[in-house]
Structure formats: C-alpha cells, structure tokens
Amino acid sequence: MSKTERAAKNKSMWQSFKVFLKSIKGYRIPITIAVILTIGSAILGLFIPKILGDMTTIAVNSYPELDWPALGSKAILAIALFCGSAALNYAQAFILAVVSAKYTKEMRERILDKIFRLPISYFDKHQYGDTLSRMSNDVDVLTTSMSQEIADVSLSLTTLIGVMIIMLTISVPLSLIVFLVVPISVVVVARIMHYAQKFFREQQSTLGVLNSEIEEDYAGSIVIKSNSYEDDALVEFDKINEKLTNVARKAQVFSSLSFPVTHIFTNLGYVGVCALGGIFVVQGQISIGDIQAFIQYVSRFNRPITEIASTTSTLQSLLAASERIFEFLNEPEEEPDAEPAKTIDKVKGEVEFHHVNFGYLPDTPIIRDFSVKIKPGMKVAIVGPTGAGKTTIINLLMRFYEPDSGYITVDGIPTREMKRADVRKMFGMVLQDTWLFSGTVEENLRYGSLSASLDDIKKAAKASNVNHIIEALPKGYRSMISEDSDNISAGEKQLITIARAMVANPPMMILDEATSNVDTRTEQLIQESFEKLTAGRTSFVIAHRLSTIRNSDLILVMRDGAVVEQGNHDELLKLGGFYAELYNSQFAEG
C-alpha cells in the first residue's frame, strides 16, 4: 500500500468514525453514566488485594495473639468493596445492554426505511444478500463491538493506572521490574499478532479463491460429469486446499503464540517479584502482606494491557461495519415527488410517450426519441428476443426509472408531475417472477386493496380460476404460503398474483406472459384470466405467444434494448423489418 493510499484509507476510516459518533449522540448520557460506573467499579475492586495483604500483615504482627477485631473489620471492608464493585459493574452492563439493543433496533429501522427510499436502480445493481448482511451482520458487529469497546477501554485504563499507582506506593523497585517486563511482552505480542494478521488476510483471500473454484465446480457439476472431469477437478481442488491449509496453519500458529509468550513474561515478572520481594521482606523494607498483595497486582497488570492492545482490532471491525452501514444510508435517494402533485380522478387509460430518451448507463442510450400514443383500452404487446430490454418500458411506465429526457403522460397529465405512488396504483402488475410474502392466501390477495372484504377476494379468485385451487388447500384461504412454499406450483402462484391484481382493480394492466415453467393446463387457465383482466383496460403485455401478439392493437418490437419498430401485426409484416424476420424464422420453410 502506498503512502497516499494509506492516508486516504485513514481519512475515510476517520470519516466513518465521525459519522458513527454522530449516530450515537442520542445515547451520550447513558453512555457517560456507564463509563463513570465502570471506573467506579474498577477503583473499588483495586483495593481488595491490598486489604487482603493488610490482613496478613496484621496477623503476622500480632502473632500469636491474633488481633481479631482489626482482622474482622478488614474482612468486612473487603466484602463491602467487592460487592460494591460488582453492583456498579452490573449497573453499567445493564445500561449498555439497553443502549445497544435500542441502537440496534434504530439502525435496523433506518436501513429498512432507506430500502424504501432508494431508487429501484440501486437494487438492480446490488445483490440482495449484500443489503441483508449490512442489516444483520454489520449492525450486530457494530453494536456488540461498541458496547464491548466502551466497557473494556474504560475498565482497562482505570485498572492500569490504578494498579500502577498502588504498586508504586508499595515498592518502587518491585514496580520497576513489572514495568520493564510487561511492556516488553506487549510489544513482542503485538509484533507476533502483526504477522498473524498478515497470514489471516492471506487465509481470507485464499479462502475466496477456493470458494469460487468450488462454486464453479458445483454449479457446473453436470458438465464435469458429462466430460469425466471429476479427477482433474479434484487435483485442482487439492492444490488450492493445500495452499489454504498452509496459510491457515501459519495464521493459527502465530496467533496462538501470543498466549505462551505473554505467559513466559508474566511468569518471569512473577518470579522476580517473589524472589526480590522475599529479600526485601527479610531486610525489613516491606511487610509480608504487601508482598502478597503485590503478587496479585502483577497478575492484574497484564490483562488491561493486552486488552488495550486488542482494542485496535475490535475498533477496526467496528469501523469497517460502520463504514458499510453508513455508506448504504448515504446512498442517494429517489427524488422527492412533485409538489403540489397532480392527480387524475377517473383514469381513462390514454398513455402517451413523448420523445422519451433513456439509458441505464449514461453513455449507452437504449431508448432514443421514442414516441407513441396509446388510446384507452388498447392492448399493447412488447416483443423481442430474450435480453432485449422489454422490462425497460415497464420500468419507465411504473416510474421505477425516470426518462433521461422526454416524458410520459396518462390522460394528458405527465406522470412525473404526479406522486409515484399514485402513478403505480394506476397499473396492475402481474410478473412472471411472482412475488408472494409469507402469510395467508387471503392476506396476499388483499395486498393490493387493504379494505377488500373476503367476498371481494373470493370473487376475484373465481374470476382468475384459482378459487378451486385455494379451496383445495388444507386451510383454504387461511393457508400459509410464501415465495418458496412448495404446496402450490409456480403456475398457481402466478394465478394468485393475477387474482391479487383483480382485487386491486386498477384502470390499467401490465402483464408478463409465462414462458416455460408452467404446465399446459395451468397455462390455459392463466391465458383465460389474462383475457378477463385486460378486457376494457389499457394493457401492456410482454408477449411470448404468437396468438397474443397477433391479437394486440399495437406491437412494440424491441431489439438490443431499443424499440426498433412499432405497429400492428399486418403493418409490421408488410414493413419487412426485424419483426418480419423474427416471425418468419419461427416457421421458415426448408
């Protein structure tokens, strides 16, 4: 990594840290209280070894007539201290638990709101899994490392400073031994961890390589089998697997080295304190109780240092998570609706494209100067080979995307001057890619019109030929379904979405004909309900069947993302262009 790159990275990390700090601003009071409680709890805990040591000293000095009242009061003080410390500790943990739970909840809601406000284009470019993992994994990492960090840093710092002060008051030379040994161990461990980190990163990237290798082999298993490639695939796999194992081993060895290394230094310090302290006691420089206490402090000195050293990695994952979350939250949103927005009282269904230009990428326009007038009640078929961009028209009609220039009107009113929600409600949409949410059939059907009665719903289901299918389910309209439920077939799912559109009863329709994943009988049922659905309504159909296309009033022919021809069947055939070619090649003689 070059210097400038590193600087840029640091800057962006610092930036995301600032954004993160801003987001927890609302919780600053409880967080401050938690920090104070932590410090209090640490301070109370600090005195316990000292008191225990004092007890020994009292016992030794008053031996053989033990001074029970003095010992008793010390013991009671010790109990009071560690109970108090534990109580403060719990209070702190309690506050942080509530804070982090509330913060998690808030972040999740913000992300969901953001999902609703982002333009569709964002999700066409990004994978769902990515957004989902920002909401679950990243939020989890952020909140757990946040509360951990707050508690750890304040506890470690207090303990560290407190232990140092107490050690120095007991014995300066003994303290020096500890101050010399422990930091060396921390530096050595930090060095080792640095190497381990390097190997861990390498392990991660090798794992990535292995992952894509396996994914490819599993996805293409039919090709591997039909070419007897299994043995070669295994040899290739072995190579990467061996490499991964080597790197993983190094990462593991290095990271587990930190434990014995810390240990040897701690033990050396311990031995030094025991031996030298013993001599000091013999010489009468310090009391025997103090030496006991000191040994306990040595073991407490170690932990806060390693803890503080480990905060960098926690902090890094915190920053990485917050960067991913706030990057998502800062994505540009859909432009706000026009204000005041125009409305149409009674939609007649006259749709017109006025010189529309559009492209998904700025430098590759795919719809150029497209104009067409669609009279109320017309059936419009959109045809073209797969991948020709037939859904682009739908995206523009529904305002999932906005034209780069030009505009679309409904009954003479530009849709861009209306509210998006109002535009979308004018159209019923039945896509090949059916979408049902998990819930009952009834709830799914009511999705388009929340006030619909059960009778309305049943009427629509009957009209869409799906009533008998629903009634045949174990719980009828109360049956649970979802996108991946297998109690109903893909074709039946599409019938349900047709019924859903019928319940909503919109003035215009957008339909997507199923291509192949439906059996012949269901396809007939769908065809019938499509006809009912489009009767008397302006409708746009992404058509695959020649019968549908021929019965349309207007055909839009798409090729490579652009509308290349428009007209009805006979006109287009006469034109002798792409449509004619497409049509004739279907049944070209010879």
**Contacting another protein (CB under 8 A), which of 43, 214, 338, 575?**
214
**Contacting another protein (CB under 8 A), which of 8, 28, 215, 471?**
215
- Smallest distance, another protein to C-beta of residue 271, A: 4
* Number of chain positions touching another protein (CB under 8 A): 135
Nearer to another protein, 319 or 382 (CB): 382
What SS3 class is residue 369?
Answer: strand
Which region among 175-183, 256-264, 362-370, 532-540 touches another protein (by CB under 8 A)? 256-264
Q: Which residues of 488-515 are buried (b: 16+ CB within 10 A; e: fewer)?
A: beebbbbbbbbbbbbbbebbbbbbbbbe
Nearer to another protein, 53 or 319 (CB): 53
**Footprint of another protein on 414-443 (CB under 8 A):** 420-421, 424-425, 427, 429, 431, 435, 437-438
**Contacting another protein (CB under 8 A), which of 2, 228, 364, 451?**
228
Query: Residue 100: which of 150, 41, 173, 165 has the closest Cα?
Result: 150
- Smallest distance, another protein to C-beta of residue 203, A: 9
Output DSSP code: residue 340: S
Which region among 28-36, 215-223, 310-318, 355-363 touches another protein (by CB under 8 A)? 215-223
Q: Is the backbone peptide bond immediately before 403 cis, with ω within 30 degrees of 0?
A: no
Which region among 163-171, 184-192, 227-235, 401-409 touches another protein (by CB under 8 A)? 227-235
**Footprint of another protein on 67-126 (CB under 8 A):** 71, 75, 78-79, 82-83, 85-87, 89-90, 93-94, 97-98, 100-102, 104-105, 108-109, 112-113, 115-116, 120, 123
**Footprint of another protein on 20-59 (CB under 8 A):** 45, 48, 52, 55-56, 59
Per this entry, what is the length of the chain?
590
**Contacting another protein (CB under 8 A), which of 517, 532, 574, 576?**
517
- Smallest distance, another protein to C-beta of residue 380, A: 18
Q: Is the dihedral of CA 510, 516, 519, 524 positive or negative?
A: positive
- Smallest distance, another protein to C-beta of residue 15, A: 27
- Smallest distance, another protein to C-beta of residue 328, A: 12
**Contacting another protein (CB under 8 A), which of 8, 32, 239, 242?**
242
3-class SS string, 236-289: HHHHHHHHHHHHHHHHHHHHHHHHHHHHHHHHHHHHHHHHHHHHHHHCCCCCHH
Is 582 near another protein (CB under 8 A)?
yes
CB 403 within 8 A of CB 396: yes
Pairing of strands 413-414, 562-567: unpaired
The enclosing H or E element of 63 equals: none
Q: Is the dihedral of CA 452, 486, 130, 142 positive or negative?
A: positive
- Smallest distance, another protein to C-beta of residue 211, A: 6
**Footprint of another protein on 538-567 (CB under 8 A):** 545-547, 550
- Smallest distance, another protein to C-beta of residue 114, A: 11
- Smallest distance, another protein to C-beta of residue 12, A: 27
Q: Which residues of 533-551 are buried (b: 16+ CB within 10 A; e: fewer)?
A: bbeebbbbbbbbeeebbee
Pairing of strands 439-440, 480-481: antiparallel
Nearer to another protein, 49 or 403 (CB): 49
- Smallest distance, another protein to C-beta of residue 449, A: 8
Structure tokens at 587: 């049944």
Which region among 164-172, 176-184, 234-242, 458-466 touches another protein (by CB under 8 A)? 234-242
Pairing of strands 367-374, 351-358: antiparallel
**Distance, CA of 198 to CA of 193 (rounded, Å):** 9
**Contacting another protein (CB under 8 A), which of 24, 70, 224, 575?**
224
Paired residues of 509 in beta bridges: 428, 539
**Contacting another protein (CB under 8 A), which of 325, 398, 457, 466?**
398
Nearer to another protein, 334 or 411 (CB): 334
Nearer to another protein, 252 or 409 (CB): 252
Residues 6 or more apart in contact with residue 453 via CB below 8 angstroms: none
Which region among 290-298, 316-324, 406-414, 451-459 touches another protein (by CB under 8 A)? 290-298
Residues 6 or more apart in contact with residue 304 via CB below 8 angstroms: 155, 156, 157, 159, 160, 163
Nearer to another protein, 369 or 531 (CB): 531
**Footprint of another protein on 173-212 (CB under 8 A):** 207, 210-212
Torsion of CA 490, 496, 500, 502, to 10 degrees: 110
- Smallest distance, another protein to C-beta of residue 32, A: 19
Query: Residue 135: which of 331, 325, 315 has the closest Cα?
Result: 325
Query: Residue 216: which of 207, 224, 204, 206 has the closest Cα?
Result: 224
**Distance, CA of 568 to CA of 564 (rounded, Å):** 14
**Distance, CA of 184 to CA of 495 (rounded, Å):** 72
CA distance between the termini of the chain: 64
**Contacting another protein (CB under 8 A), which of 32, 245, 371, 485?**
245
**Distance, CA of 360 to CA of 403 (rounded, Å):** 10
- Smallest distance, another protein to C-beta of residue 320, A: 19
- Smallest distance, another protein to C-beta of residue 414, A: 19
Nearer to another protein, 7 or 60 (CB): 60
- Smallest distance, another protein to C-beta of residue 213, A: 8
In the numeric block, the tokens 């719990």 are attached to 90
**Footprint of another protein on 358-397 (CB under 8 A):** 385-387
Nearer to another protein, 146 or 319 (CB): 146
Which region among 14-22, 178-186, 243-251, 452-460 touches another protein (by CB under 8 A)? 243-251
**Footprint of another protein on 140-169 (CB under 8 A):** none
Nearer to another protein, 319 or 420 (CB): 420
